[in-house]
Amino acid sequence: MNKRSKEQDDADLALMRRIAGNDEQAIGQMYDRFGSLVYRMAYQAMPTRADAEDAVQEVFVRLWRTAGRYDPKRAALVTWVMLLSRRHLVDKLRRTHTRVRAASLEAGIGAALPDRPLDMSRMERDERFKVLLTRVATLPDLQRKVVTRAYLGGQTLRQIGEELNTPIGTIKSALSRALVRLRENVSENAA
């Protein structure tokens, strides 16, 4: 190790120790040093600018919380920051992609709905939602639980699997079968 990198490692370790001690100036220095790098990474990974900005904030909170674990012998500070950022972004994307939003329930099975007007009144939407819930109630137990917890409860498929003590593959299959069944039910009623 040359003199420059040893000095840099010592400076990085001192910075991280100050951050671990809640030194606001040190946190500001860390952000000044790595903020644009983390933002570029987040901006490339996240679907929107707002998501990227949120991710950057979350990464720096995580850096602050884990500052005491930084070890310059294992990785340079820039490497550590980028690895932590990458892990956070991957985790965030996984959570986002496995979470099924309540608003997408009708979209999930609604593709088969005939003559679906784009500008339904609230009363029409409420009525369609009631019909949809009635159809969901006819599903087999596991399928019904998965659909209601995922779409209405906002849970991830992993969370549902853990709560029901059921493998994630079984949960995914149940959701897929439920959506197919609901689409078929809609098509049969439309015919």
What is the per-residue pLDDT for 112? 41
**Cα–Cα distance between 17 and 64 in angstroms, integer?**
10
Q: pLDDT tens for residues 147-174?
A: 888 877 777 888 899 989 999 889 999 9
Q: Per residue in 82-119, pLDDT tens? A: 989 998 988 887 776 544 444 455 555 554 444 444 45
- Got the DSSP string for 111-157? TT-TT--SS--HHHHHHHHHHHHHHHHTS-HHHHHHHIIIIIT--BH
Average pLDDT over residues 6-10: 85
Prediction pTM value: 0.50
Domains of the chain plus CATH, in order, are 3-98 (1.10.1740.10), 102-190 (1.10.10.10)
pLDDT of residue 111: 46
**8 Å CB contact between 155 and 162:** no
CA torsion angle 100 102 106 109 (round to 10): 30
* Average pLDDT over every residue of 43-68: 89
Separation CA 113–CA 132 (nearest Å): 11
